[in-house]
């Protein structure tokens, strides 16, 4: 185990050295000035983190102060289901390919070494759970502050710390179960050949309605602590014990995996890791390299329907999403954004939340909405075979994902207890917000501005969606957002058609 831990440590060091060199700090240089610069960087980072945390916490507290009294009940009702849906999606992802992934050096040194496989698998598990754990702690802490600053029975700082501690066993258990199921696929003979096996967890989704007490148990515990209802953390002890037991099973199962299979399913991941530094420096080059790596191993299913003209574009778009179901899953980000925007207007949530919502719009990976249009518009070679203007091309290419987002959002909306008039207006706004998201994404690809595509999207999305939702918030209703949204759509559509 020690050599493997040492190897991981060296890999972390290597990555850290790379990023430090980017800010001009060389860890091998023992010069006093270089060391002093290192101390300055450390101090600056610490100050920046604390300052940003304080600003964010203050902002969240302001929003929390304006939350309606029903917010706590809403969280208690919704959180367990959201947690369960997240757990199911995670299991699907871990069933899609081996949960234990090797990097290229790992393939050379770990995959072929005669070590007990339980050791690298267990280390891999803890490596995999660190990032979601940190993200989970940050998000849950802010949520606890927002929910307890005015409505809570305990202080917001205390609630944030309790929630942060409570989320650790929940995330560990969630990841451990997903890993266990993913590893079981690698161990059960023949299971790797079932290419659609990863879709099987979808059948679990109705379970919270059938047996809410059992499947939503960790989510319920977490939600109770989050809203300050349960002041005692001892309720999390069974979750912690369950997590420990499942981790032990992960190690046991890990000892039975075939490293040749793991290597086979890690190749794309390993290649992607090698170019991962490009993600921040050159996102376009990273995306192209990523799609090329995926294209080499792509296995097509189903056939292209024999439609004609624009119908062919729609049919081909549908086929693309059927052949790449992970992109359908990614549409959930768009559904969440649409639902968030709609909820702000329908439930009169604090206007300041629009900043959080617009930030989410800017950073959420909603590019899968225009995956097909992106392939058509990105390069003039394929584009020259498509004899229609950019707007019609965008609408045809994005018709299927937009329909899926509208459908999912409409179902979620209709499940909520809202008056009939609001319900109808909400459905219209769902369509408008979805179309706006697609238009902003599409317009950013057409170089309407001199900015890079991802910057252009953020600017267009913040303006287009911000004006639409802002109008609704300022004028106090969904109708205003619908009217302004139609106006914004008309502007964006004419710009795209003329591009």
Tell me the closest approach of the beta carbon of residue 381 to another protein, in angstroms.
5
Tell me the closest approach of the beta carbon of residue 376 to another protein, in angstroms.
8
Q: Which part of the chain contacts another protein (CB under 8 A), choosing from 5-13, 19-27, 348-356, 380-388?
A: 380-388
Tell me the closest approach of the beta carbon of residue 380 to another protein, in angstroms.
4
Binder of another protein out of 31, 234, 381, 415 (CB under 8 A): 381
By CB under 8 A, the count of residues binding another protein is 29
Binder of another protein out of 385, 415, 420, 450 (CB under 8 A): 385
Note every long-range contact of 198-207, with CB atoms under 8 Å and residues 24 or more positions apart, other chains counting: 198/92, 198/93, 198/95, 198/96, 199/92, 199/325, 200/95, 201/88, 201/91, 201/92, 201/95, 202/88, 202/92, 204/88, 204/91, 205/85, 205/88, 207/84
Binder of another protein out of 308, 415, 417, 420 (CB under 8 A): 308
Residue 399 near residue 370, CB atoms below 8 Å: no
By CB under 8 A, residue 298 contacts another protein: yes
Helices (H), 199-309: 207-210, 212-215, 217-226, 237-254, 259-274, 278-281, 283-296
Angle at 64 between CA 59 and CA 68, to 5 degrees: 145
Tell me the closest approach of the beta carbon of residue 494 to another protein, in angstroms.
17
By CB under 8 A, residue 380 contacts another protein: yes
Nearest to 370 by CA among 397, 392, 396, 391: 397
Tell me the closest approach of the beta carbon of residue 301 to another protein, in angstroms.
10
Nearest to 265 by CA among 90, 98, 94, 96: 98
Q: Which is nearer to another protein, 157 or 312 (CB)?
A: 312
Q: Which part of the chain contacts another protein (CB under 8 A), choosing from 184-192, 292-300, 432-440, 451-459?
A: 292-300
Binder of another protein out of 233, 386, 410, 495 (CB under 8 A): 386
By CB under 8 A, residue 313 contacts another protein: yes
Tell me the closest approach of the beta carbon of residue 325 to another protein, in angstroms.
12
Q: Which part of the chain contacts another protein (CB under 8 A), choosing from 52-60, 72-80, 195-203, 385-393?
A: 385-393
Tell me the closest approach of the beta carbon of residue 298 to another protein, in angstroms.
6
By CB under 8 A, residue 323 contacts another protein: yes
Cα distances (Å, whole numbers) of residue 286 to 276, 329, 458: 7, 21, 19
By CB under 8 A, residue 295 contacts another protein: yes
Tell me the closest approach of the beta carbon of residue 297 to another protein, in angstroms.
9
What's the chain's length in residues? Answer: 499
By CB under 8 A, residue 452 contacts another protein: no
By CB under 8 A, residue 382 contacts another protein: yes
Q: Which is nearer to another protein, 173 or 367 (CB)?
A: 367
Classify residue 144 as exposed, middle or buried by CB count within 10 Å of its CB (0-12, 13-18, 19+): buried
- Counting Cα atoms < 13 Å in the Cβ hemisphere of 486 gives 7
Tell me the closest approach of the beta carbon of residue 382 to another protein, in angstroms.
7
By CB under 8 A, residue 447 contacts another protein: no
Look up residue 194 and give its DSSP letter. Answer: -
Residue 395 near residue 416, CB atoms below 8 Å: no
Tell me the closest approach of the beta carbon of residue 437 to another protein, in angstroms.
22
By CB under 8 A, residue 291 contacts another protein: yes
Phi-psi region of 80 (alpha: psi -120 to 50; beta: other; left: phi over 0): alpha
By CB under 8 A, residue 306 contacts another protein: yes
Cα distances (Å, whole numbers) of residue 214 to 1, 209, 482: 36, 11, 41
The structure tokens listed for 14 are 């290597």
Tell me the closest approach of the beta carbon of residue 497 to another protein, in angstroms.
12
Classify residue 461 as exposed, middle or buried by CB count within 10 Å of its CB (0-12, 13-18, 19+): buried
Nearest to 493 by CA among 466, 464, 467: 464
Phi-psi region of 67 (alpha: psi -120 to 50; beta: other; left: phi over 0): beta
Work out whether the CA dihedral 151, 153, 157, 163 comes out positive or negative: negative
Q: Residues 350-379: x/- map of binding to another protein (CB under 8 A)? A: -------------------------x---x
By CB under 8 A, residue 296 contacts another protein: yes
Binder of another protein out of 190, 213, 300, 365 (CB under 8 A): 300
| Residues at the site binding another protein, with contacts judged by CB under 8 A | 291-292, 294-296, 298, 300, 303-304, 306-309, 312-313, 316, 319-320, 323-324, 375, 379-382, 384-387
């Amino acid at each position: 185990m020690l050599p493997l831990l040492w190897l991981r440590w060296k890999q972390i060091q290597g990555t850290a050295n790379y990023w430090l060199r980017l800010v001009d700090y060389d860890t091998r240089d023992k010069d006093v000035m270089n060391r002093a610069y290192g101390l300055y960087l450390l101090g600056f980072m610490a100050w920046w983190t604390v300052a940003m945390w304080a600003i964010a916490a203050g902002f969240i507290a302001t929003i929390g102060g304006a939350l309606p009294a029903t917010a706590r009940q809403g969280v208690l009702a919704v959180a367990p289901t959201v947690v369960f849906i997240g757990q199911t999606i995670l299991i699907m992802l871990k069933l899609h390919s081996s949960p234990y992934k090797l990097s290229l050096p790992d393939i050379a040194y770990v995959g072929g070494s005669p070590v007990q496989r339980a050791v690298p698998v267990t280390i891999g598990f803890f490596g995999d759970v660190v990032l979601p754990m940190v993200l989970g702690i940050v998000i849950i802490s802010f949520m606890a502050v927002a929910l307890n600053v005015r409505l809570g029975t305990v202080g917001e700082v205390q609630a944030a710390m309790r929630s942060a501690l409570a989320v650790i066993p929940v995330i560990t258990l969630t990841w451990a179960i997903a890993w266990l199921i993913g590893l079981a696929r690698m161990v059960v003979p023949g299971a790797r050949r079932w290419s659609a096996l990863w879709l099987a967890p979808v059948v679990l989704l109705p379970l919270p309605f059938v047996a809410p007490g059992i499947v939503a148990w960790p989510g319920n515990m977490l939600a109770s602590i989050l809203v300050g209802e349960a002041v005692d953390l001892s309720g999390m002890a069974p979750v912690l014990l369950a997590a420990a037991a499942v981790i032990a099973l992960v190690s046991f199962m890990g000892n039975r995996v075939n490293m040749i299979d793991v290597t086979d399913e890690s190749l794309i991941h390993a290649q992607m890791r090698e170019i991962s530094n490009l993600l921040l420096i050159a996102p376009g080059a990273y995306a192209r390299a990523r799609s090329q790596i995926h294209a080499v191993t792509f296995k097509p299913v189903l056939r292209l329907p024999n439609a004609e003209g624009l119908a062919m574009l729609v049919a081909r778009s549908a086929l693309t999403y059927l052949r790449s179901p992970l992109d359908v899953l990614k549409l959930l980000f768009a559904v969440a954004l649409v639902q968030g925007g709609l909820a702000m207007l329908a439930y009169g949530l604090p206007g300041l939340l629009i900043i959080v919502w617009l930030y989410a719009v800017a950073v959420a990976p909603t590019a899968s909405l225009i995956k097909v249009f992106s392939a058509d518009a990105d390069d003039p070679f394929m584009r020259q075979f498509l004899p229609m203007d950019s707007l019609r091309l965008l609408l045809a290419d994005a018709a299927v994902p937009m329909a899926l987002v509208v459908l999912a959002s409409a179902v979620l909306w209709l499940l909520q207890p809202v008056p009939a008039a609001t319900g109808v207006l909400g459905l219209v706004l769902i369509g408008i917000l979805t179309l706006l998201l697609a238009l902003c994404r599409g317009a950013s690809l057409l170089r309407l501005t001199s900015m890079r595509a991802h910057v252009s999207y953020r600017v267009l999305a913040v303006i287009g969606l911000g004006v639409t939702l802002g109008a609704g918030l300022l004028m106090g209703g969904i109708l205003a957002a619908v009217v302004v949204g139609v106006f914004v759509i008309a502007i964006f559509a004419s710009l795209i058609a003329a591009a």
